[in-house]
């Protein structure tokens, strides 16, 4: 049986009954978890995830009649030295290999990855339509130190600058060791773009801030387990597609999609682009979302789609379930509509 393009609920870190019930209520078929900040479900005290914990997590999801589509991000601390070529690099890579093997054994097919030692940066939040609260980035404010400890934590207390060459070399070194294990374990590693997609932040170069950077990485370490977590919001931030010229995002989607390299989608968008943008609901950003979903359909994308960074709506919960409800339902309708095309 082949898979079809489908929608999941994602980006939360704990398999609570509330979260899984909410996923059922939305009518999605599966969930994804994002564990950049860790999770009580998957302790990584030894630097890797244990197979018993992975199995328990998957079972809980399956007990709700849901599919565990992917886990995104091991906690940053357990691969920080791999990104920066620190003293524990090889130990951390060995741990990552254990995580991959254990995920394979538990039957969890995708592990999301980002290569941002100092994570996602945002400047103070903005408001969107009707006063929804959205994240924003303004390079000028960021350079002036006006960074919020909001979306993801910022701590760039590194003692020196890191060049593009070395950050990329570290990625290649890491993937040359991770991917063979991933292939053997039947797990795919999905790399997420840099957010914001700029050349350097806090003295650390970023190596996934242009569409061609993914091409460079895939060619440097070719593997069927090497592909993208295509964050449409990041591509929108980097190539700036306004409604009259959205080819940049769609071209990248087509290029990687046709090659089977989009392992899953973050379907979000922004208004504006680097060096200044703010997030928004799908359909009111740079990208023509109908054209985007058609493109995914045309290239035969058969993975799952989640929303990402959803706006915080009136009386929303801390995990913004109202924002998720709107965005997920919107994406489900797009998928349903496109699935009826030839």
CA separation (Å) from 165 to 18, 84, 95, 170, 204?
44, 12, 25, 9, 11
Question: Nearer to Mn ion by C-beta: 39 or 73?
Answer: 73
Burial of 61 (0-12, 13-18, 19+ CB in 10 A): buried
User: How many residues belong to the site for Mn ion (CB under 5 A)?
Assistant: 3
Q: CA 318, 323, 327: angle at the middle one, nearest 5?
A: 145
Query: Judged by CB, which is closer to Mn ion: 22, or 264?
Result: 264
For the bound state, the minimum distance from the C-beta of residue 196 to Mn ion, rounded and expressed in Å, comes to 11
**Segment (H or E) for 18:** helix 17-26
Task: Say if CB 35 and CB 75 are below 8 A apart.
Answer: yes
Dump the DSSP string for 124-192. EEEE-GGG-EEEEEEHHHHHTT---S-SS------SS-B-HHHHHHHHHHHHHHHHHHHHHHT-EEEEE
Residues 277-316, interacting with Mn ion (CB under 5 A): 308
Q: Toward Mn ion, which CB reaches closer, 96 or 267?
A: 267
Residue 231 near Mn ion by CB under 5 A: yes
Residues 151-210 that bind Mn ion (CB under 5 A): none
Nearer to Mn ion, 76 or 266 (CB): 266
Q: How far is the CB of 217 from Mn ion (least distance, A)?
A: 17
Residues numbered 243-282 forming contacts with Mn ion, rule: CB under 5 A = 266
Min dist CB 121 to Mn ion, Å, is 14
Choose one: 43-51, 122-130, 223-231, 287-295; the region binding Mn ion (CB under 5 A).
223-231
User: What tokens appear for 284 in the block?
Assistant: 């009111």
User: Nearer to Mn ion by C-beta: 34 or 92?
Assistant: 34
State the Cα torsion 241-245-249-251 to the nearest 10°: -160
The nearest distance, CB 269 to Mn ion, in angstroms, is: 11
CB nearer Mn ion, residue 78 or residue 270: 270
H or E element at residue 305: strand 304-306
* Segment interacting with Mn ion, rule: CB under 5 A, options 34-42, 226-234, 244-252, 271-279: 226-234
Which residues bind to Mn ion, rule: CB under 5 A? 231, 266, 308
């Amino acid at each position: 049986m082949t898979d079809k393009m489908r929608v999941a609920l994602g980006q939360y870190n704990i398999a609570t009954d509330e979260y899984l019930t909410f996923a059922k209520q939305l009518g999605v078929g599966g969930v994804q978890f994002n564990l950049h900040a860790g999770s009580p479900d998957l302790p990584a005290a030894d630097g890797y995830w244990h197979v018993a914990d992975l199995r328990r997590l998957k079972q809980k999801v399956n007990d709700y009649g849901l599919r565990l589509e992917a886990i995104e991000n091991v906690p940053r601390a357990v691969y920080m030295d791999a990104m920066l070529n620190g003293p524990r690099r090889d130990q951390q890579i060995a741990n990552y290999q254990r995580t991959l093997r254990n995920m394979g054994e538990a039957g969890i097919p995708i592990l999301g990855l980002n290569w941002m030692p100092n994570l996602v940066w945002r400047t103070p939040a903005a408001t969107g339509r009707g006063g929804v609260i959205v994240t924003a980035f303004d390079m000028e404010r960021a350079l002036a130190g006006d960074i919020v400890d909001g979306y993801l934590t910022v701590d760039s207390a590194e003692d020196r600058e890191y060049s593009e060459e070395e950050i990329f070399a570290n990625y290649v070194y890491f993937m040359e060791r991770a991917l063979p294990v991933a292939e053997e374990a039947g797990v795919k590693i999905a790399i997420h773009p840099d957010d914001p997609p700029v050349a350097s932040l806090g003295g650390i170069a970023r190596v996934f801030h242009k569409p061609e950077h993914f091409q460079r990485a895939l060619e440097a370490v070719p593997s069927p387990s090497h592909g993208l977590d295509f964050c449409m919001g990041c591509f929108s931030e980097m190539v700036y597609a306004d409604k009259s010229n959205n080819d940049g995002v769609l071209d990248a989607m087509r290029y990687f999609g046709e090659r089977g390299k989009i392992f899953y989608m973050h379907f979000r968008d922004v208004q504006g682009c680097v060096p200044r943008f703010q997030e928004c609901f799908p359909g009111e950003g740079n990208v023509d979302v109908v054209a985007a979903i058609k493109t995914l359909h045309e290239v035969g994308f058969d993975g799952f789609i989640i929303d990402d960074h959803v706006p915080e709506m009136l009386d929303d919960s801390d995990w913004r379930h109202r924002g998720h409800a709107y965005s997920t339902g919107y994406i489900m309708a797009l998928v349903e509509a496109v699935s009826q095309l030839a």
